């Protein structure tokens, strides 16, 4: 077999893999604009009616609001805890440091179902009912490792001298953090926030286990709607989800890059 044909084989295979991964997504987005009630090809005209119907569907709007709130709170809490944890792990020495690092990172190594069941059983054992704060807690647990990993990597690269210089000039520890450390790690903190939000926003597994009755996020709402029928609204909702989960990180990365470039 010559090199040319083996490479073209790999190329063809790669294209097929990508098609397999993205074609369904493309179909969903395409059908979201289908004027017909039944999602099938060939499409019969382009329309935004399913998006408008989404807007008038209270359950979906509520789910959307819940997801946004959950995502935003998760991002803020994870970022705050993640920054504090990273500072402790990078700048200070204490006992059981590696154990704590492992414990912080573990949630991304453990399968999500296992984590979900574990937290649920733990709450049972504590005899606590499911509630929104507990759902939030669950999301924080598995988004925190991302923030910690990203911020830690950045913090290691921020030389201690910057902080020492600020201290020597009369700034106390808090001023030094606010004026020097935080601005210098901000690109990483920002990236962590985006990660946490996106992961929380499109999580299904954990949310299904942890959400209290009556509360739906966008993914669990889609899940629930799929049980009844395949409404074209789902396509429209799917399209919105795709746009948010792709656009937010892209935007975030672009902003983080600009921030990092300004610091160089």
Residues that bind another protein (CB under 8 A): 159, 161-162, 164-172, 175, 179-180, 183-184, 262-264
- Shortest separation between residue 174's beta carbon and another protein, angstroms: 11
- Shortest separation between residue 260's beta carbon and another protein, angstroms: 11
- Shortest separation between residue 99's beta carbon and another protein, angstroms: 22
Other CB atoms within a 10 A radius of the CB of residue 25 amount to 13
Query: Is the CB of 5 or the CB of 168 nearer to another protein?
Result: 168
Query: Is the CB of 11 or the CB of 159 nearer to another protein?
Result: 159
Residue 5 φ/ψ, nearest 5 degrees: -70, -35
Query: Is the CB of 153 or the CB of 263 nearer to another protein?
Result: 263
Query: Is the CB of 154 or the CB of 211 nearer to another protein?
Result: 154
Query: Is the CB of 105 or the CB of 167 nearer to another protein?
Result: 167
CA 250 to chain CA mean position, Å: 12
Other CB atoms within a 10 A radius of the CB of residue 86 amount to 25
46 secondary structure, DSSP code = B
Residue 189 φ/ψ, nearest 5 degrees: -60, -40
- Shortest separation between residue 163's beta carbon and another protein, angstroms: 9
Looking up tokens 């998760």 gives 74
Who contacts 156 (Cβ-Cβ below 8 Å, separation ≥6)?
A: 90
CA–CA dist 68, 128 (Å, integer): 25
- Shortest separation between residue 66's beta carbon and another protein, angstroms: 37
Provide the token pair at 37.
């009630």
- Write the CA distances from 94 to 70, 90, 109, 152, integer angstroms: 33, 11, 24, 16
Query: Is the CB of 250 or the CB of 263 nearer to another protein?
Result: 263
- Shortest separation between residue 78's beta carbon and another protein, angstroms: 24
Please list, residue by residue across 154-175, b when 16 or more beta carbons sit within 10 angstroms of its beta carbon and e when fewer do: bbeebeeeebeebeeeebeeee
């Amino acid at each position: 077999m010559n090199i040319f044909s083996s490479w073209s084989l790999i190329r063809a295979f790669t294209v097929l893999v990508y098609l397999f991964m993205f074609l369904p997504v493309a179909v969903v987005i395409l059908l979201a604009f289908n004027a017909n009630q039944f999602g099938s090809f060939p499409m019969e005209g382009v329309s935004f009616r399913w998006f408008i119907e989404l807007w008038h569907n209270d359950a979906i709007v509520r789910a959307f609001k819940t997801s946004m709130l959950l995502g935003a709170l998760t991002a803020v809490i994870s970022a705050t805890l993640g920054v504090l944890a990273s500072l402790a792990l990078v700048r200070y020495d204490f006992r059981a440091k590696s154990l704590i690092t492992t414990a912080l990172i573990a949630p991304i190594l453990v399968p999500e179902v296992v984590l979900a069941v574990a937290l649920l059983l733990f709450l049972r054992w504590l005899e606590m009912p499911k509630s929104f704060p507990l759902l939030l807690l669950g999301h924080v647990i598995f988004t925190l490792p991302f923030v910690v990993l990203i911020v830690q990597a950045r913090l290691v690269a921020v030389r201690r001298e910057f902080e020492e210089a600020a201290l020597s000039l009369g700034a106390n520890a808090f001023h030094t953090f606010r004026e020097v450390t935080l601005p210098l790690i901000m690109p990483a903190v920002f990236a962590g926030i985006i990660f946490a939000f996106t992961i929380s926003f499109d999580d299904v597994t954990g949310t299904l286990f942890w959400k209290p009755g009556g509360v739906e996020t966008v993914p669990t709402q889609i899940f629930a709607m799929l049980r009844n029928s395949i409404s074209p609204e789902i396509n429209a909702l799917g399209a919105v989800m795709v746009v948010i989960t792709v656009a937010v990180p892209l935007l975030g990365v672009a902003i983080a890059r600009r921030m990092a470039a300004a610091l160089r």
